[in-house]
C-alpha cells in the first residue's frame, strides 16, 4: 500500500512535464482538486488503467480540476506510452535516478492514484487498479463541478474491480 493514506497531507512538488514546462502541486491545488496518477510505462496495470483515467480527465476538462500523470520513465518512453494509450492529460516526469516525488508519496507499486482536495489533504489513496476508488474519485469530481458524475464505463465493457499494481 501507499505510505500516504487518506487524511495525510500531500507533499508539494515541482516537476518538468513531457512538454518541457514545469508543474507544481501547490499551483494546481489553487485551481481545485488534483488527481495524481503515478505510473511506469512497462506496467501492465498502468496500461490497463490509462484509458479509464483519460475518461476521468475528459469528463472534467472544463472544470477547475487537474488530472496529472507522474511518469517514472524517461520523456521519450513516456510520450510513446501517451500515444499508445491515448493519454492527453498532462504528464510530469519523476526523475528515474531518485524518484524523489514517488518516494515522498511512499510509493511501493504503480499505478498509484491520489485524489488531493484543494486543502492539500489526500482523500483517496489507491494502489493498483480499483474500480470503486476510481468511481469515488469520479463522484468527488462531480460534486466539485456540482453536476452528476460523468459515466466512465461503456455499455458491455467488462471492467475489473481490482488489479494489483
Look at residue 2 and tell me whether its pLDDT is greater than 70. no
- pLDDT tens readout for residues 110-119: 999 999 999 9
Is the preceding peptide bond at 111 cis, omega within 30 degrees of 0?
yes
Specify whether the CB–CB gap between 89 and 67 falls below 8 A.
Answer: yes
Kindly state the cell numbers that stand for 148.
452528476
Specify the pTM. 0.96
Share of the chain above pLDDT 70, in %: 98
Region 89-108: what's the mean pLDDT? 96
**Is the residue at 104 inside a domain?**
yes
Beta bridge partners of 20: none
Q: Is residue 164 assigned to a domain?
A: no
Residue 1 domain-assigned (yes or no): no
CATH code at position 40:
3.40.30.10
pLDDT band per the 50, 70, 90 thresholds, residue 165: confident
| Model confidence pLDDT, tens digit, residues 38-86 | 999 999 999 999 999 999 999 998 889 999 999 999 999 999 999 999 9
Task: Please tell me the predicted confidence (pLDDT) of residue 21.
Answer: 96
Residue-wise pLDDT tens digits, 122-155: 999 999 999 999 999 999 999 988 999 999 999 9
All three cell numbers of 48: 490497463
pLDDT at 159: 94
For residue 69, what are the domain limits?
A: 14-131+141-152
59 falls within a domain: yes
How many structural domains compose the chain?
1
Amino acid at each position: 500500500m501507499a505510505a500516504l493514506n487518506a487524511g495525510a497531507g500531500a507533499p508539494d512538488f515541482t516537476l518538468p512535464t513531457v512538454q518541457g514546462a514545469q508543474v507544481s502541486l501547490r499551483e494546481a491545488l489553487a485551481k481545485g482538486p488534483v488527481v495524481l496518477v503515478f505510473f511506469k510505462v512497462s506496467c501492465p496495470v498502468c496500461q490497463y488503467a490509462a484509458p479509464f483515467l483519460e475518461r476521468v480527465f475528459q469528463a472534467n476538462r472544463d472544470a477547475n480540476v487537474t488530472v496529472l500523470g507522474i511518469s517514472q520513465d524517461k520523456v521519450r518512453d513516456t510520450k510513446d506510452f501517451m500515444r499508445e494509450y491515448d493519454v492527453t492529460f498532462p504528464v510530469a516526469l519523476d526523475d528515474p535516478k531518485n524518484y524523489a516525488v514517488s518516494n515522498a508519496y511512499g510509493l511501493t507499486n504503480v499505478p498509484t492514484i491520489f485524489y488531493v482536495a484543494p486543502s492539500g489533504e489526500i482523500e483517496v489513496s489507491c494502489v493498483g487498479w480499483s474500480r470503486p476508488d476510481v468511481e469515488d474519485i469520479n463522484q468527488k469530481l462531480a460534486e466539485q463541478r456540482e453536476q452528476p458524475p460523468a459515466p466512465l464505463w461503456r455499455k458491455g465493457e467488462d471492467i475489473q474491480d481490482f488489479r494489483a499494481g
